[in-house]
Chain A
Amino acid sequence: MPLVKQGRIATDLFVHVADGAELPGDGAIFVPAARFLEDPEAFLKRAGKVGVIWPNNRDLDDLVPYLGRLAAVALVFPSFRDGRAYSQARLLRERHGFDGELRATGQVLRDQFVFMLRAGFDTFEVKKDSDAEAFASTAKSYSVFYQPTGDGRLTALHRRMLLRHSESAGQ
């Protein structure tokens, strides 16, 4: 499964550690939420980077205390129809100020890229090679946005207000 990071196909430096599997001595790892919460300190004091895979039906409150020391959070789309992780992503970025890697996992398809970028994801475990290859062009398919999110893109309303100000300043 190709990984897209910062807009291009990249090698995944994280190892996904399944429940019950032995931890690698060093290197970056992703661990499931339940396993992480059993003993967060044990993971956080490791030499390598730690990321947590957070299910989309679990409240973020349990994760928030550790966000500052996590390198990455992976959110899950069990199906592309299930949009709960969009809310989680925005909360992590916009409310809790998480600035590490925010990864979309599960059924991640081309036609969700723009929504995911807007919600704050910056890394994508893409289901199909062709979708991963089309990432850069797909990400540019929209230039107008109606809603403010934490991604910093100017909204249509904002652009209109700026236009009004510059027009009235020029008079």
Chain B
Amino acid sequence: MYAYDELDRTLINERVSEFRDQVKRRLSGELTEDEFKMLRLQNGVYLQLHAYMFRVAIPYGTLSSKQLRALARVGRRYDRGYGHFTTRQNIQFNWIKLAELPDALADLAEVGIHAMQTSGNNMRNVTSDQWAGVAPGEVEDPRIWSEILRQHTTLHPEFSFLPRKFKIAITASEHDRAAIKVHDIGLRLYKNAEGETGFEVLVGGGLGRTPFIGKTIKPFVHGRDILSYVEAILRVYNQYGRRDNIYKARIKILVHELGIEKFAREVDEEWKQMGDVGLTLDHSVIEEVRSRFSYPAYEKLPHMPDELKQAAHDPLFERWRRNSVFPHKVQGYSIVTLSLKPVGAPPGDATSDQMDAVADLADRYSFGEIRVGHEQNLCLPHVAKRDLPQLWKALDRIGLATPNVNLVTDIIACPGLDYCSLANARSIPIAQELTRRFANHDTAELIGRLHINISGCINACGHHHVGHIGILGVEKNGEEFYQITIGGRADEGAQMGTLIGPAIPYAEVADVIEDIVEAYLALRDRPEELFVDAVKRLGVEPFKERVYATR
């Protein structure tokens, strides 16, 4: 965990005071809605279909139990008793009243949580691997660098009014759980031949209506230079990014229009001219930030404790363990994913009661720490293996032990037309129906890893392009239709899915997905061949045939 010091706390409190004054000026009419809009967006406040929506940052997906309880309290006190975890390590509350927002922010500030720059055309929450610091084989904890970047990007005086939003993600593992290739800047931490920490820097990735996979702009930037290099990218973007058309304003369009070579030359030129402007991170500075991260005092525990051996006789426990428990870098410990995708419920939602219960379980079993991943699930990062049976029972009691992590019902979905003013179609009911169709856990296990991502409009908040199966809601003559893509992925082998054919009406989506899955089961060359690999081998044709032959 990162411990805020007096300076971090002061800044957050100053931000709350400023926003309180802004809300006051809006309510008195001193600020027009147009003027206020940008200010509220910079504090994570959207106006949705029914009410204001409030998006709170969970930087690099790390939460303490105290912080999770504060989020639960906000859900209870100012909302309707629940929150929605998003694909970018944020949590959203959907029913907040404008006049109460400053109080909600003040409550969160007490535990070091803020909503700065969770929307608006600025640098958004810096995201990272939800297994940072505990994943086996990780180069080093990427949260140190995430925190350095979080501070640097917060209230940046030059880059708070960019052409469009700007998202940075960091990974330090071979397997990319942070989707860095679909971010404006993706950073892959590694050590060079000399053993020095640095980053492969990718730029111009993103989804939305014009999806791009990020391109490598520099194969290695030394850790000490990462802030100045990011600053150079931002400066080029701030000056030359398009501002004439909101749909062409992201950095991916600038990179695409200039070409990565020319863009890289512009950045290099700016970087060279920048010289030493106080952004070089010397060793002591990095260590200062590192020193404020605390790590659990792990015990020396056996790899296979008796408790686990005994519990293995219970098939239900075993199914959950096989599915939701992952190797930890320390012997005797596990990483446990808590599925927020129970059958029939909106993906990513958690009630305030569940959040409180998870906070208690984190205190008891995970050194008070919780993580949030971009798949809209939670995670307890340091669970002793001997505690797994107990934890499972407790999770099951609060509905958080659905053994479907990474399976067909572990669906990513945006709020869609049920909440969002941008949406063309509903996402949540599609997800709910699919979880019912595939509710049989044995079937889901047989199908194996399969990510379904659903977006209710072309802005792609549900990351449909990079779902193994992607579902995109569109509007046709006033009715909800859905385009289906297959073969997308968001990890280190990121690529966009391929459209299988014409859009299909709302009522047929679940049938079509079932057809695709059945086709896969018939076509895979062995049970271990994942859906996405079968699509890669076979192309979309056999799936397309299956879907459209009878329609």
Contact = CB atoms under 8 A, between A and B. Distances in A.
Task: Say if A and B assemble together.
Answer: yes
Interface of A: 80-84, 86-88, 90, 94-95, 109, 111, 114-116, 118-119, 130, 141-149, 155-157, 159-161, 164
Contacts of A164: 284, 288
Interface string B138-170: 000000000000011011111111100000000
Q: How large is the interface on B (under 10, 10 to 19, 20 to 34, 35 or more residues)?
A: 35 or more
Given A82-B161, A141-B18, A156-B11, A146 B288 contact: no
A84 to B, nearest CB: 6
A156 B7 contact: yes
B14 A141 contact: yes
Interface in B310-363: none
B66 to A, nearest CB: 22
Nearest to B289: A157
B284 A161 contact: yes
A119 B238 CA distance: 14
Interface stretch (B54-62, B272-280, B383-391, B399-407): B272-280
Interface string B12-26: 001001100010000
Contact of A83 (B154, B158, B278): B158
Contact of B121 (A81, A87, A142): A81
B158 A119 contact: yes
A83 B288 contact: no
A160 B286 CA distance: 12
A142 B39 contact: no
Contact of A142 (B8, B14, B38): B14
Nearest to A160: B288
Contacts of A118: 157
B285 A144 contact: no
Contact of B151 (A82, A84, A143, A156): A156
Contacts of A80: 35, 38, 161
Given A149-B157, A157-B151, 10 more contacts: A83-B160, A87-B158, A111-B39, A142-B14, A142-B155, A144-B14, A145-B155, A146-B11, A160-B5, A161-B284
Nearest to B11: A144
B8 to A, nearest CB: 7
Contacts of B239: 84, 87-88
A86 B279 contact: no
B248 to A, nearest CB: 15
B210 interface: no
Contact of B278 (A142, A143, A148): A148
Interface in B366-404: none
